[in-house]
Amino acid sequence: MNNDTNEVRREQPGVAEAAAGPDWKPVSRSSTYELVIDAVEEQIMTGSLGVGDPLPAERDLATKLGVSRASVREALRVLDSLGVVRSSGGSGRGAGTFIAAMPSAALTRFLRLHVALTNFSIDDVTETRIQLERSSAILAATRADKDALAEVNAQLAMMDTPGISLETFNDADTAFHVAIAQAAGNQLFSDLTGAIRTSLRKSIFSSFSRVDDQQALMAKLQSQHHGIMDAITTGRAEEAAALTEEHIRFAASRLPGLSDT
């Protein structure tokens, strides 16, 4: 951990250079695999490729683009890790690489790594979660989609199971919050909410194990869950938001090491 002279922190995205003078363009010098990504991305941007569509076989794509298969694979791996592409071996129908749409895992890994690198503090992440979930609660209370709320209730019931294990409780807890976001009808809310919870899963879990009376804490959290759900079901949007914020702040304050303060 020798935080030495390497200046590798904090590029700003899309920020115009405030300085005047001859603004030299950075002359990107993209690497080969970046060019392959760009080629695929362009097809996506222009609508030539959509979810479910197949990409050419790696060997074909390499030939078409005039690069080696290794470079194509590096590009596809990146797109795969972003949840944009899915590959499977074999032959015939279903074999090959396809455009996919699985952003959750990618978001989760991204957050998990950058939180571990202390790029994003846990407080920052928690604050983001609060804002998202406040909004989710309001939207969920307003729209009141019955099917979506049923899923929330299912998770609530799961957590009501007597003698439930900490792990099961925690997973149902995550699912509960994600289900509310889902009920709000905003996919980005829901994916971000899930990613934040999942990326903190280990920390939450180990933090929970250090709590004195785990059953009491779980009971308290669960009673808050019921309060939130009541407010959502009866359409008290602002109250649902307030209870959600209170709930998250309460949990953060009770789990040692999860909060910087």
Residues from 172 through 211 that contact a copy of itself (CB under 8 A): 172, 174-175, 178, 186-189, 191-192, 194-195, 197-198, 201-202
Of 5, 28, 91, 165, the one binding DNA (CB under 7 A) is: 91
Using CB under 7 A as the binding rule, whether residue 68 contacts DNA is answered as yes
- CB contact set of 180 (below 8 Å; sequence gap of 6+): 133, 136, 137, 140, 152, 228, 232
* Cβ partners under 8 Å of residue 131, min gap 6: none
Question: Of 93 and 212, which CB lies nearer to a copy of itself in the complex structure?
Answer: 93
Q: Roughly how many angstroms between the first and final C-alpha of the chain, as a whole number?
A: 24
If the CB atoms of residues 47 and 89 are measured against DNA, the closer one turns out to be 89
Residues 14-43 that bind DNA (CB under 7 A): 31-33
Cα dihedral value 210, 104, 110, 79, nearest 10 = 150
Among DNA, a copy of itself, none, residue 25 binds (CB under 5-8 Å by kind): none
Among 93, 117, 118, 165, binds DNA (CB under 7 A): 93
Residue of 47, 94, 162, 163 that binds DNA (CB under 7 A): 94
Within 71-90, the residues that bind DNA by CB under 7 A are 71, 73-74, 76, 87-90
Return phi, psi of residue 60, to 5°.
Answer: -65, -45
Comparing CB distances to a copy of itself, the nearer of 188 and 216 is 188
Closest CA to 226 of 252, 253, 244, 251: 244
Q: How buried is residue 205: exposed, middle or buried, by Cβ count under 10 Å (0-12/13-18/19+)?
A: middle
In eight-state DSSP terms, residue 141 is H
Q: By CB under 7 A, which span of 41-49, 63-71, 136-144, 213-221 interacts with DNA?
A: 63-71
Non-local (6+) Cβ contacts of 44 within 8 A are: 50, 84, 99
Q: Which does 225 bind (CB under 5 to 8 A by kind): DNA, a copy of itself, none?
A: none
Smaller CB separation from DNA, 31 or 161: 31
> Which stretches of the chain bind DNA, using CB under 7 A?
31-33, 55, 57-60, 62, 66-71, 73-74, 76, 87-97
